[in-house]
Structure 1
Amino acid sequence: MGLLPTVLDVAEAAGVSRQTVSNVLNSPSMVRPETRERVEAAIARLGYRPHASARRLRTQKSSTIGIRLDPITTDGISGSILDRFLHALTEQADAKNLRVTLFTAADPEEEIRQFQRLSDGADVDAFVLTSTFHGDPRTEWLIEHGQSFVTFGRPWGIDDMNDPQHLWVDVDGWYGLQQATSYLLSTGARRVGYIGWPSPSGTGDDRRRGWLETMKESSGLGDDDLERLAVATEDGVAFGADAMRRLEAAAHALGGVDAVACASDSLALGALMATAGRIPVVGYDNTPVAASIGFSSVEQPLDEVAAGVLELLTGAHGGRVNSGPEAVDDPGHRLVKPRLVVREYRPLGAVAPA
């Protein structure tokens, strides 16, 4: 199947961009007649066969969306956000008479093989991708093969906001950590630490930036002090506990840590366990664990994310940027603001004030 001509092959043969080929296939009136004739000649010469799936999706005829079912995580916490997104997406898709097909894949390469299998068999009309990352090969494959898709997460590593090839919906992690850090500072804490993920991590770097910029603006601490207050680790409760101990050791010279903002609820739970609840901790994702244990966390509005994904798939864009004249004024992305859920954490056995 790899020898079949692609949109990129047609574009190179006709001396035009991939977007121009897409416009000829989907909105020919947008293209000048001489350019359109050149592209059509290249299509005929190469024997390129465009997928009918994207057009079926836009007209909502027998439309099916494919999305990978993420593997179960070891701590059962970090994966819950994608489970909740999947539930919201399926529920809203059903209301639009769209179907969601789940598939599994162990890594991006296997996911790409699933893309090809499902698109070749006309089983799926468009794809929704999650967990985007720097150098993500999945989006490039979908673009090259003319597939309609939207990502939950920005196309990290490129011009995130304006890249013409990517449609995406994301939650503003910078804003979420800005809110979390500002809240902790408002309680009287000054040395607010941060536990996050190793860089480069598009999502993690974005959240760390929210913490760092807020601390620079409001804490009065210098760059060297702030460097001591940030620890990077893999995601997970045990990693969070170890990171918290390292953070306290590094911050000892500063007088200790007053509070901690974390990139996930898994890390926050680990920090709480390591400190026995001695200092305030704020997590991210507002998972059921955060609610049941009772610590503050940033909540992602997944209903809004799902609505944005479906809007980009079935609206003017049809899963492709500028796929019609009416899409020109509609940005190919949705950046959703999260909200901080504040709770008063009490360690197990603590007595509430009378």
Structure 2
Amino acid sequence: MKRVIAVVATATVVLSLPVPALAAAPAAAPALRSVSLPFLWPWAQLFEVTADGAGGVWIGGAQGKYCLRWGDLCPVYSDGNPVVRRRVGSSWKEYPINGWTGQGGIGRIASGAGETWIGGGSSTREASSSYVARFDGAAFQKVAIPTDSVSMLATGPMGTFISGWDLNAGDRLFKRTGDNWTVVQVPGVDYVADVQALSATDGWAVGHRDGLQQVPAVAHFDGAAWKSVPLPAGADGERFLKVVPVAADDVWAITRKHLAHWNGSAWTFIAAPADYPDLADLTVDASGAPWVAPVEAAPPAKPPYRYGGGKWETATVPDGAAVLDLAAVPGGIWGVGTQGQDPAAFNGS
């Protein structure tokens, strides 16, 4: 899932309860229905869904995983093979994934401004990626990375970015420059969890600062430089995970426990729905309403929620469904997750 304004030092942030209405209440959140998937070898999982910019979506995950148990141990296992499919019209299309070696799955897909990139190499949903590839229109071509592993992948009007960690340098942000990667310094943000933009001169970076505890951090790019956006002490302990700019005065973001909104001059933090697991993903639909999905948790799974008119609205999902990642397209909302023990995709319009 998958834009900004100039920031000055006097920008303020507000933590407010109760939350004021930010817009007129929209219609009830649409129901998400199951969508048929292409054949995937069992056992399969879907980790990611991302709008392709042309009305369809990309999905990514792994297939062919197995574990031969011996008591509580798993001495013989496979992390499976990577899955990337694109929804074109009413069918799914597969493309070669060149340069892939070993086992694992695709856990990151970024698509925007005519570019699509994938990252993978591990079987877990939030693990770092050792494989990164760019779509050339016919296949994914492996791209060398300047770090041991990639924990964030984003592409859009400001270019393509990765966050990576290695033993010597720690966390760093890189931007694709020609056929190379250039280190980018973002003041006040030690670890960048997401980079998204409205244009080449209007972008946001969110993440956290390191210290005794992780402190949420935000920065804005105005076309010339990144500028740190101060946050109040009351927000300590909750790092930012995702950001979705909609307009210069309409930017949404999430931490594990809060939805956050920038109205052009101040941030408002909105508590997640009561008894909800940690937030994992964020998208904003065509009406401007944000949607959130939870981390994978013990059943019964919580559905996605949409926020509008100062309240949370529950999305209806099929029985036994867990929707763990979201993407907005002009025609509605897509999600991926599970239904029972099987991988599943969902759509609502």
- Give the alignment's TM-score, normalised by structure 1: 0.24
Structure having the higher strand fraction is 2
Q: Whose Rg is larger?
A: 1
TM-score by length of 2: 0.24
**Greater share of residues in helix:** 1
